A and B are shown apart, each in its own frame.
Chain A
Amino acid sequence: MSASLAAAVLSAAAPERPINGVALTVVIVIFSLVAVMGFWAVRWRVKPEERGLKSLDEWGLGGRSFGNWITWFLLGGDLYTAYTFIAVPAAMYSTGSVTGFFAVPYTVVLYPIVFLLMARLWSVSHRHGFVTPADFVKGRYGSKSLSLAIAVTGILATMPYIALQLVGIKAVLSVLGLGSGENLFMADLPLIIAFAVLAAYTYTAGLRAPATIAVVKDLLIYLAIVVAIIWLPSHMGGWGAIFDSAQTKMSAINPATQKAVGSIIPGATSFNAYWTLALGSAMALFMYPHTITGVLATKARNTIRRNAVVLPLYTVMLGFLALLGYVAIKAGTIPVGVDGKINPQLIVPQLFLDNFPAWFAGVALAAIAVGALVPAAIMSIAASNLFTRNIYRDFIKPHATPEQEAKVSKVTSLVVKFGALIFVLVMDQSAAINMQLLGGIWILQTFTAIVAGLYTNWFHRWALLIGWAVGIGYGTWAAWNVVNPVTHAHFGGSIAAIPFTDIPIYIAITAFVLNALVSVILTVVFRALKVKDGVDSTTASDYGADENDPKVADIQKVMDKEIEQGESETAAPVV
């Protein structure tokens, strides 16, 4: 990062940040309101007999009852996380379009993919009561090992993602002047309190908590961004002037690399990086357990498709938010952290604080902080569900009752959040970012098993498992080999040349192609060698089932009854 040079110079002189009282008060008030909503959600749309949320369907999927509106807000909060709000403008501010603005085509091509795949996943999960993507993989391929691989990948990819939401809250807190105490524990106390409150209402209300909070968060974010994109450019000479000053900054030469700092329009050498980043991220996003949790919480097969039509609205907001990175260049915003160092991640909170009255900056900062709570809650629920269903139930306690499952999941959600907190407090922030980068590469390696499974059971379970391992292995190795030109640290980025060429693309895509090739070839080989297949417990009609079709468990009950009656009346019936 070129910022580290400037940071070294600045750190000697910069004074400690004062606390902004008005903005802080607004943030605390909104945060408290949200906490009240979170606890209240335990009774929200809960049938009397379900009080206490004693099953994963209730606690972990909100009763599988969310309609169009709630899903729109929930997925909006789930996909467009606080970290996005912090990191995308930070990338635009630091190096321009290639690393930042790809988020727009990413969240455009995302929706045809969602439209295509998620209705089928909803149907088969509805029929069989699947709670996690790994449940589906187990049902489809009859392999606990493959399901375990999917579950572990999901948990590992989600953990740093939760940690990054904390980084988002931390950015808001440090702009407000908090976190500068001498004592390490005192410095992080506000963050610890915020997270303890979040953990408490997620534990009690499950997925209903983020679903209610998401509404508040989205309204605040929309308000903040609409005001910012109208007000700021009109006071800075218009968008033309803003792009010009970004152009000037990006074409300066970085002394460490002897290349331009960045570019506002990608050059021909980064075309492949740009589109593979967009496509790879889009393919990966709905493989993350927290997004699938959002999909499975909907009440009808078509809810997710209708949402795919209207969710792109958030992308418009994301695009303008990204451009706030350029607005900050024009405004001359200097993102100095409490430690006096330059930190580009503070750019958007700092921009609001510098250019708006303190109370409005408080609203915007609260929007970001609350925006971190929604995905953090959903992610911890999703990771807990994976642990409960695909590790605890499959390997530790096979006959766990729904009530035991819910209990294990609740406790796990606390452990997961505590782990993420430790991650952020103890380890360097870049560790969380590196892990998140790896997580994106890893989670795409579950695409082959999950997506192919939605259409066919042709693939062999062991071929998919080996393909997954090859993808993870290559992806990790390639990412480790990317060295930051300034700090010489490993995991310096997610772009690397395709092996034996000099075409730089997103590592996740190369790894995924390898994974898919290995899976296809080994399936053919294993079939030829007649290696035993797993049992597919799904049927073709499951993939088209809608909310009016009976669940498989219910069909089974009816059949058992018919058999009983048959036995008492005549001879054994043929089923």
Chain B
Amino acid sequence: MSNSATPTRGPARPGPYIVAGIILTIGIVLPLVVPMYAKHDPELLGFPFFYWYQILWVFVEAGLLWITYTIVTREDKRRRAAVHKPNGSSLSDSNGTGK
């Protein structure tokens, strides 16, 4: 019998979430360290460093998020497979939902 407390995912392995957390933290903290980039040189195509560095971060961020997405999605699939057995029955002993 199922109710809303039935786990939707199996227990989490901490590893992938720690790695994802570190990458996301880098992605939030580094672009905000203003002293690192509040300067004029080196220029690129006439753009002061301040400007091209921040625009470059957009692409770095997209890359970081793509890596995080792959890591998290793989672990997520594994956890869902753990509760959705092919025969349709769900495991009753797993209660983790990865807080």
Instruction: Give A contacts to B, CB under 8 Å.
Output: 97, 101, 104-105, 108-109, 111-113, 115-116, 127, 233, 238-243, 264-268, 271, 274-275, 278-279, 302, 305-306, 308-310, 312-313, 315-316, 319-320, 323, 455-456, 539-546, 549-550, 552, 555-556, 558-559, 562, 575
Find chain A residues with CB under 8 A from B1 CB: 559, 562, 575
In the bound complex, how far is the Cα of B40 from the Cα of A267, in angstroms? 11
Interface residues of B in 1-37 (CB under 8 A from A): 1-9, 24-25, 27-28, 31-35
Flag if A312 contacts B55 (CB, 8 Å).
Answer: no
Tell me if B48 and A238 are in contact (CB < 8 A).
no
**A555 CA / B66 CA spacing, docked (Å):** 34
Point out the residues of chain B lying under 8 angstroms from A238, CB to CB.
Answer: 45-46
A-B contacts, 6 of them at CB < 8 A, read: A108-B61, A305-B69, A308-B65, A309-B66, A312-B61, A541-B97
Q: Is the CB of A104 within 8 A of B9?
A: no
Given contacts A239-B45, A540-B99, contact A310 B4 (CB under 8 A): no
> 9 smallest A-B Cβ distances: which pairs?
A240-B46, A239-B46, A112-B27, A275-B32, A271-B34, A112-B24, A540-B97, A309-B65, A545-B8
Q: Are B62 and A542 in contact (CB under 8 A)?
A: no
A266 to B34, CA, bound (A): 9
> CB of B81 within 8 A of chain A?
no
Q: How far is the CB of B25 from chain A (nearest CB, A)?
A: 8
Smallest beta-carbon distance A351→chain B, Å: 18
CB-based nearest B residue for A119 = B72
Among residues of A, the one whose C-beta sits closest to the C-beta of B5 is A539
A542–B7 Cα distance when bound, in Å, is: 8
List B49-88 residues whose CB lies under 8 Å from chain A. Answer: 50-51, 54-55, 57-59, 61-62, 64-66, 68-69, 72-73, 79-80
| A455 & B99 in contact (Cβ 8 Å cutoff) | yes
A478 CA to B89 CA, complexed, in Å: 57
CB <8 Å contact, B2 and A555: yes
Known: A105-B54, A243-B46, A455-B99. A279 touches B32 (CB 8 A): yes
Cα of A242 to Cα of B73 in the assembled complex, Å: 44
Residue B38 is within 8 A (CB to CB) of chain A in the complex: yes
Binding site for A on B (CB under 8 A): 1-9, 24-25, 27-28, 31-35, 38-40, 43, 45-48, 50-51, 54-55, 57-59, 61-62, 64-66, 68-69, 72-73, 79-80, 97-99
**Residue of B with least CB distance to A266:** B38
Are A243 and B48 interface neighbours, CB within 8 A?
yes
Q: Chain B residues near A242 (CB, 8 Å)?
A: 46
Contact status A544-B9, CB under 8 Å: yes
Q: Kindly list chain B residues whose C-beta atoms are within 8 Å of the C-beta of A562.
A: 1
Contact flag A274-B34 (CB < 8 Å), given A545-B8, A558-B2: yes
Contacts of A550 in B (CB 8 A): 2
A552 contacts across to B, CB distance below 8 A: 4
CA distance A309 to B66 in the complex (A): 6
New A-B contacts (13) at CB < 8 Å, excluding given A112-B25, A265-B38, A309-B62: A101-B54, A108-B31, A108-B61, A111-B61, A112-B24, A240-B46, A268-B38, A275-B32, A305-B73, A312-B59, A312-B65, A543-B97, A575-B3
Contact across chains for A112 and B4 when beta carbons are under 8 A apart: no
Contact A271 B35 (CB under 8 A): yes
Between A112, A243, A275, A546, the greatest number of chain B beta carbons within 10 A of the residue's beta carbon is seen for A112
The answer to whether A104 touches B54, judged by C-beta atoms less than 8 angstroms apart, is yes
Contacts of A305 in B (CB 8 A): 69, 72-73
The answer to whether A105 touches B68, judged by C-beta atoms less than 8 angstroms apart, is: no
B34–A275 contact, CB under 8 A? yes
Q: Assess the A265–B58 pair: CB atoms within 8 A.
A: no
**Chain B residues within 8 Å of A241, by CB:** 46
Partner of A323, one of B9, B43, B51, B80: B51
Known: A271-B34, A542-B4. A111 touches B65 (CB 8 A): yes
In whole angstroms, how far apart are the Cα atoms of A541 and B6 in the complex? 7
Residues on A with C-beta less than 8 A from B59 are 312, 316
* Shortest beta-carbon distance from A106 to chain B in Å: 9
Chain B residue with minimal CB distance to A314?
B58
Indicate the member of A274, A320, A455, A541 with the most B CB atoms within 10 Å. Answer: A541
User: Bound complex: CA of A314 vs CA of B51, how far in Å?
Assistant: 16
Residues of A within 8 A of B57 (CB): 104-105, 108
Tell me if A116 and B24 are in contact (CB < 8 A): yes
Which one, B3, B31, B43, contacts A555 given CB within 8 A? B3
Contacts of A308 in B (CB 8 A): 65, 69
Verify B54–A109 contact, CB threshold 8 A.
Answer: no
Give chain A nearest CB distance to B4 CB in angstroms.
5
Closest chain-B Cβ to A435's Cβ sits at a distance in Å of 27
Known: A265-B39, A546-B8. A243 touches B31 (CB 8 A): no
How far, in whole Å, are A267 and B68 apart by their CA atoms in the complex? 34
Residues in A whose Cβ lies below 8 Å from that of B33: 275
A544-B61 contact in complex given A239-B45, A275-B34, A552-B4, C-beta closer than 8 Å: no
Q: Are A316 and B65 interface neighbours, CB within 8 A?
A: no
List chain B residues, Cβ under 8 A from A243: 46-48, 51
Q: Quick check: B69 and A309 within 8 Å, CB to CB?
A: yes
Q: A104 contacts B43, CB within 8 Å?
A: no
From residue A43, how far is it (CB to closest CB) to chain B in Å?
Answer: 34
Write out the residue numbers on chain B whose beta carbons fall within 8 Å of the beta carbon of A233.
46
Is A115 within 8 A of B65, CB to CB? yes
In the complex, which residue of chain A has the Cβ closest to the Cβ of B97?
Answer: A540
Residues of A within 8 A of B28 (CB): 109, 112-113, 279
Nearest CB on A from B32, distance (A): 4
Q: Which of B32, B45, B64 has the most CB of A within 10 A?
A: B32
In this complex, what residue of A is CB-closest to B21? Answer: A116
Q: Name B84's closest neighbour in chain A (CB-CB).
A: A548
- Evaluate contact between A112 and B97: CB separation under 8 angstroms: no
Q: Is the CB of B55 within 8 A of A319?
A: yes
The answer to whether A239 touches B47, judged by C-beta atoms less than 8 angstroms apart, is: yes
Q: CA separation between A238 and B46, bound complex, in Å?
A: 7
Q: How far is the CA of A109 from the CA of B38 in the complex (A)?
A: 17
Report which residue of A108, A241, A323 has the largest number of chain B beta carbons within 10 angstroms of its beta carbon: A108
| A264 close to B8 (CB less than 8 A) | no
